[in-house]
Amino acid sequence: MSDIAITSAFDSGNIEVRSIFGDEALLKIRPDQDSSFLQWFHFRVSGARGRALTLQITGLNGSAYPMGWPGYRARVSEDRRFWGLADCAWDESLEGGTLTIRYTPTSDVAWFAYFAPYSMERHHDLVSRIASAPGVSYRALGQTLDGRSLDCLEVGDGPLQVWLYARQHPGESMAEWWMEGALELLADPANSVARELRRRCRVHLVPNANPDGSARGHLRTNAAGVNLNREWQDPSAERSPEVLALRTAMDETGVDFAMDVHGDEAIPAVFMAGFDGIPSLRPEQAEGYRRFIAILERRTPDFQTQRGYPVAPPGKSNLTMSTNQLAERFSGRGCVAMTLEMPFKDHDDAPDPRQAWSPERSAQLGRDCMAALLEWLEGRDSVGHVADYP
């Protein structure tokens, strides 16, 4: 029986083959360019119909988040539409930390990934489809180091400025699935939530803030090996043109509400992170954040508030991160900013044994967040919110 074939020479692909023998392979993840970050993998196995594959990804004690491997299951697809779960075992003592994936394909080709990929081709399809919808406008905010456009889609004519942006960390592909759900709702002229949001707001959506890293198969950085979510205090054209373009556009419009959409490797839950430690924190900002997460928790079982990141003490927020920078930068407007985190594992409060956390649930959460935003705005109006800007 011939050996299987493994490749990652495609959009967002990442794996290096150490050896293949029959149905078994030793693999390792290629680090981000000019960086030590590694965790994202995406590869194709061919010639494997009916064969019990054993795929071992080694050296993972040196990955970005080794605490993310226990309890994790790789995603697998044979049609690149439905992404299910492969059986996995984690052994930190084997080959510098090894994730063993076992799967028997029913067809000749199978794809494996850290999470269901959101390809650049699908990104372009999304942008073109939404940009052609009635009432939607498109603009390129700038260019990346690899020459890609930083795409922004905008809807609505209201006075409140809402910014939604995703995939600063390109391996967190669930973030663009979330964007697909939010964009499809907002572009639908028959959707009542969308109609009311468009009346109240100007919504700016950046579905992929790091297209270079996405195409290159990076976990966390852009083409220069820079973590974009540590560049918001002082972005530069040389290191982080994506953040420079995005922050410049935000300065032009102002920001009343912002959500930065991410994925978390270790915590098996959907949760939010806020901006408690910013120097200029205003009571109405803190209250607005608490009210939004309470609304979202009530509206969907795919969100919770018991697990998440530690809260920064007063005055100690990291202003290089977008959520903190925006809440501080636009505190005079009462800006409410937040970071949404979705799991690479599952949302344990409402587990799915077929897919764990999935593209479908990510997209639905995008729609749920838009409904929560409308309810939040209605409550904001009812208490007569007034910011000290024209």
Q: Give tens-digit pLDDT for 259-271.
A: 999 999 999 999 9
- pLDDT of 192 strictly over 90: yes
Q: pLDDT band for position 390 (50/70/90)?
A: very low
Question: Residue 388: pLDDT above 80?
Answer: no
359-382 and 174-186 helices cross at what angle (nearest 10)? 50
Question: What is the mean predicted confidence (pLDDT) over 364-372?
Answer: 98
Q: Is 284 a catalytic residue?
A: no
Instruction: Give the mean model confidence (pLDDT) for residues 21-41.
Output: 97
Structure confidence at residue 387 as a pLDDT band (50, 70, 90)? very low
> Which pLDDT band, with edges at 50, 70 and 90, does 310 fall under?
very high
Mean pLDDT over residues 210-220, rounded? 98
**Cα–Cα–Cα angle for 45, 26, 214, rounded to 5 degrees:** 60
Distances (CA, A) of 319 to 166, 277, 330: 18, 9, 13
Confidence band, pLDDT 50/70/90 cuts, at residue 179: very high
Q: What is the dihedral of CA 84, 89, 90, 91, to 10 degrees?
A: -160
| pLDDT score of 254 | 98
> Of the listed 341, 360, 375, 378, which one is catalytic?
341
Q: Convert the pLDDT of each residue in 229-248 to its tens digit.
A: 999 999 999 999 999 999 99
Measured CA to CA, the distance from residue 194 to residue 366 in angstroms comes to 12
Model pLDDT, residue 381: 72
User: CA-CA distance, 106 to 48, in Å (whole number)?
Assistant: 8
Q: What is the per-residue pLDDT across 144-160, written as a single tens digit (0 to 9) for each? A: 999 999 999 999 999 99
| pLDDT, tens digit, 9 for 90 and up, residues 193-213 | 999 999 999 999 999 999 999
Q: Specify whether the CB–CB gap between 5 and 45 falls below 8 A.
A: yes
Query: Given phi > 0 = left and psi -120 to 50 = alpha, else beta, which region is 97?
Result: left
Domain locations in the chain? 5-113, 120-382
CATH architecture of the domain formed by 120-382:
3-Layer(aba) Sandwich (3.40)
Q: Calculate the alpha carbon distances from 18 to 15, 58, 86, 196 in Å.
A: 10, 9, 21, 55
Q: In what order do the strands lie in the sheet with 109-113?
A: 5-7, 42-46, 109-113, 75-77, 84-85
What's the whole-number average pLDDT of the chain? 96
For the chain, report the end-to-end CA distance as a whole number of angstroms: 74
Query: 103: exposed, middle or buried (C-beta count within 10 Å: 0-12, 13-18, 19+)?
Result: buried
Torsions phi, psi for 100 (to 5 deg): -100, 120
Residue 292: half-sphere exposure toward Cβ, Cα within 13 Å: 26
pLDDT category at 78 given cuts 50, 70, 90 is very high
Q: What's the length of the chain?
A: 390
CA separation for the pair 266, 343 (Å, rounded): 7
CB 255 within 8 A of CB 334: no
d(CA 358, CA 217): 19
Q: Are strands 336-343 and 136-143 parallel, antiparallel or unpaired?
A: unpaired
Whether 5-113 and 120-382 share one fold: the answer is no
Instruction: Give per-residue pLDDT as tens, 316-354.
Output: 999 999 999 999 999 999 999 999 999 999 999 999 999
Q: What is the pLDDT of residues 269-298, one digit of tens each?
A: 999 999 999 999 999 999 999 999 999 999
What dotted CATH number matches 5-113?
2.60.40.3120
Question: For residue 126, what pLDDT band results from cuts at 50, 70 and 90?
Answer: very high
Q: Which residues does residue 42 pair with via DSSP β-bridges, in sequence order?
A: 14, 113
Question: How many whole angstroms separate alpha carbon 212 and alpha carbon 232?
Answer: 18
Residue 380 is predicted with a pLDDT of 81
**What residue type is 301 in one-letter code?**
P
